[in-house]
Amino acid sequence: MRFLSDRYERIWFYPRKDVGWHSEGFVETWLYRHGRLIGERNISGFRWLIYRPLLLSLEHIQIPLAFRFGEAIELAGYEWEMSQDESSDTIAIEPGGALRLALYWQAWDEVETGYSVFIRLTDAYDRIWAQRDSIPQGGDFPTEEWMAGDIIVDPHSILLPSDTPSGDCLLAVGMYDSTTDQRLPVASTRGASRGDRAIIARVQVW
């Protein structure tokens, strides 16, 4: 699979499970972990899934970033999965709405610890109005299974409470040890400290 993903811009996959081929779902799991589903096609009654290898996805990422989390993990960027200016790091949303985005992680070395990702929305007084915590890919691709060179697309949906006040907020991302709750330090790729979270977007609640 890695041979194909290194050489082609699109991988078409027919998810047929039978004895001797794809019976355990390995291929689909690999593509889900290492590719970005960009479409489906029905050809002569057969449903095909179209994936773009994640290495190519980084070249086309909507909003590129460069934050290092600890020594082995980088947040390379993200994409909004909602109707808005795809290249903007500012988004407007109503109370009760959901922020939907996909984070792009890159592992620079093997990761031995299980980390959880938190995404939180805070106001000017650093009060938290919405937060989501989860193992990457909803638990399907934990960090202790990451290997050097892996690129991971990590979708999230953060629901805003209906009583979220109007105003400008910040969207921050961090990682913490799932066992000890200790957070990973965050830095720019040049080494400048960003504390224990990365500010990735401005959110206007109205």
Give the model confidence (pLDDT) of 59-86 as tens digits: 778 899 999 999 999 999 999 986 555 5
Whole-structure pTM value:
0.79
> In angstroms, rounded to a whole number, what is the distance separating the alpha carbons of residues 16 and 12?
13
Instruction: For residue 2, give the H/E element and its range.
Output: helix 2-5
Share of the chain above pLDDT 90, in %: 60
What is the number of structural domains in the chain?
2
Report pLDDT digits (tens) over 111-131. Answer: 999 999 999 999 989 999 999
Residue 29 has a CB neighbour count (10 Å cut-off) of 13
Rounded (to 5) percent helix, strand, coil in the chain: 15, 50, 40
* pLDDT at residue 55, as a whole number: 63
Residues 132, 34 share a domain: no
Residues 196, 155 share a domain: yes
Domain that holds residue 29: 2-53
Residues 186, 104 share a domain: yes
Residues 199, 130 share a domain: yes
Residues 26, 96 share a domain: no
Report strand pairing: 63-69 vs 73-80: antiparallel
For the chain, the average pLDDT equals 88
Residues 176, 91 share a domain: yes
CATH number, domain with residue 127: 2.60.40.770
* pLDDT at residue 149, as a whole number: 86
Judge contact between 102 and 153, C-beta under 8 A.
yes
Residues 83, 39 share a domain: no
